[in-house]
Structure 1
Amino acid sequence: MAAGGLVWPRVVLFGDSITQGSFENGGWGAAIANRLARKCDVLNRGLSGYNTKWALTVLPKIITQPTDQDTIAAVVVFFGANDSALKDVNPVQHIPLAEYAENLKHIIQYLKSIGICEEKVVMIAPPPLDESAWEKACIAKGNKLDRCNSVTKEYTQACVKVATECGTDVLDLWTLMQIENQDYSSYLLDGLHLSEKGSRFLETHLWPLLEKRTASLPMIFPYWRDIDHLNCQASLLL
């Protein structure tokens, strides 16, 4: 126990807008936090619009060297939806494929350098893109279609390759959502971001990976029926 009180273990969600919005009603991050209530804190560190270059730059400000009392149970790294933007249409967010892969490697290397081993890292590849729906969203903002599902596939493959080489678990969302050519449009709110159904899909597949990293964590403070009501301090201040 730290001087100021009990320090809870943490699961950190580090990604772009798909992560930032994950605590909204029906969001996948909120569902994970609900599953882990009383075991650890789930921190939303999603940065809307960010690519891996910007993410790598700010990462040391977001996840710092854990202290003896601090426990990082898992870090979820979820980037690629912005990196894969088309260079000729959206050069601001676009990151070349090779650089994207190197940035992911550097993110993992940084986490390892501060004591967060690869076994605690879960990579998520970006979801597929519904080009028709996303084009409508782009046009509504006065822009042209700036992403392509076939390009997103290339970034997914790069993410999976990096995870395999670095020894982390990876959730290939792009492939999972298109198994047997299923219609994945209902998983997406606007062609790019997840709908509630898409969030449930992601949470269902992510939870087993996080569960094995958090299963050994005890419930923080005893179940209320186990408290000695005649001497609560003996139960609560062990």
Structure 2
Amino acid sequence: MALPGAAAGGGRPLRWPRVLLFGDSITQFSFQPGGWGAALADRLVRRCDVVNRGLSGYNSRWAALVLPRLLGDGACAPAAATIFFGANDSALPEENPKQHVPLAEYAANLAAMVRALQAAGVPAARVVLVTPPPLWEPAWEAECAAQGHRLNRRNSTVGEYARACVRVARACGTDVLDLWTLMQKDGEDFATYLSDGLHLSPKGNAFLFSHLWPLIEKKVSALPLLLPYWKEVEETRPELSLLGDGDHQ
């Protein structure tokens, strides 16, 4: 059945702003039930699409190569973005050389990703760098043993990468969420934040979201609700409300 009047033309295109989540498995898994990315998407529904570009197992070297491809031509730059790498970069070179990235290169790769976002129209002020969380070595050592490996990460080493991430954020003018420090603050039992010693538990996901949301909120707070509230749609001629210039309500 043909649509009447203005409805047939569909109105002008309505572009949905995006928040880009770019990271490793901790980002990829963030849309699972109770995940921090899912919580962010729920909080931003009808204001932004939250786009998960988590790449399990990736380090900053590989990420810096693929980010420009993910951003495309910059025609629709993200309203905000997170960069969340380091858990794989900080793997011990003698135990996990494939994922390991030297500390100085890791820092350079983070800076390169911030520049790639800027080139695509995302100012540094709309970017959040997230440090890797602390590593609970007993649980992760058990995971490694189950796969026939020796312990391939150390929490003290992860801390070096977290501090490098903080330094890059300060140099580039981005916000930073220092999970490594926050989860261990005041002798916190951070093991409860981790499901296997490395990845986040439900409690860890909630912790991350609670600290990330204030940083994201200030970047997207000016974005309006997209399309009118249903009670405000013109009843007899809905196309006046839904297809005209009043898309934001």
Whether the TM-score (by the shorter chain) exceeds 0.5 is yes
Q: Is the 8 A contact 1:32 1:203 kept in 2?
A: yes
* Matched residue, 1:120: 126
Distance 2:121 2:36 in 1: 27
Judging changes above 3 Å, is the alpha-carbon distance between structure 1 residues 143 and 216 closer, same or farther for their aligned structure 2 residues? Answer: same
Residue 240 (structure 2) pairs with residue 234 (structure 1): yes
| CA deviations over 1:161-204 (Å, ceiling 9, x no partner) | 00001100000000010110110111000000001110000001
1:180 paired to 2:186:
yes
CA offset at residue 5 of structure 1? 3.2
- Residues 1:40 and 2:67 are matched in the alignment: no
Which residue identity does 1:9 align to in structure 2? Answer: P
One-letter amino acid of the structure 2 residue matched with residue 205 of structure 1: H
Query: What is the aligned counterpart of 1:151 among 150, 153, 157?
Result: 157
Equivalent residue for 2:58, pick from 50, 57, 60 = 50
Deviates more, 1:92-101 or 1:227-236: 227-236
Separation of aligned partners in 1, 2:88 and 2:220: 30
Q: 1:32-181 residue pairs with structure 2 within 5 A?
A: 32-67=40-75, 70-181=76-187
CA distance in 2, matches of 1:6, 1:161: 39
Deviation at 1:3, TM superposition (A): 8.9
What is the letter of the counterpart of residue 38 of structure 2? A
Residue 34 of structure 2 is aligned to residue 26 of structure 1:
yes
1:63 Cα offset (Å): 1.3
Distance 2:67 2:39 in 1: 24
Q: Which residue of 1 aligns with 2:198?
A: 192
| Structure 1 segments of 4+ aligned residues over 6 angstroms from their partners | none
TM-score (norm 2): 0.92
Match of 2:218 among 212, 224, 230: 212
CA distance 1:115–1:7, shift in 2 (3 Å): same
* In structure 2, distance between residues paired with 1:133 and 1:5: 50
TM-score, normalized by length of structure 1?
A: 0.96
Quick one: percent identity of the two aligned structures?
56
- Unaligned ranges ≥5, structure 2: 1-9, 245-249
Contact 2:25 2:54 (C-alpha < 8 Å) held by counterparts: yes
- Report which stretch shifted further, 38-47 or 54-63: 54-63
Shift of 1:4: 8.1
Distance 2:162 2:34 in 1: 25
Contact in 2 for aligned 1:19/1:78 (Cα 8 Å): yes
User: Per-residue deviation at 1:36?
Assistant: 0.4
Give the direction of change, closer, same or farther, for the CA distance of 1:233–1:4 in structure 2 (3 Å limit).
Answer: closer
2:214 partner SS? helix
CA-atom RMSD, angstroms? 1.3
Q: Distance in 2 between matches of 1:115 and 1:236?
A: 29
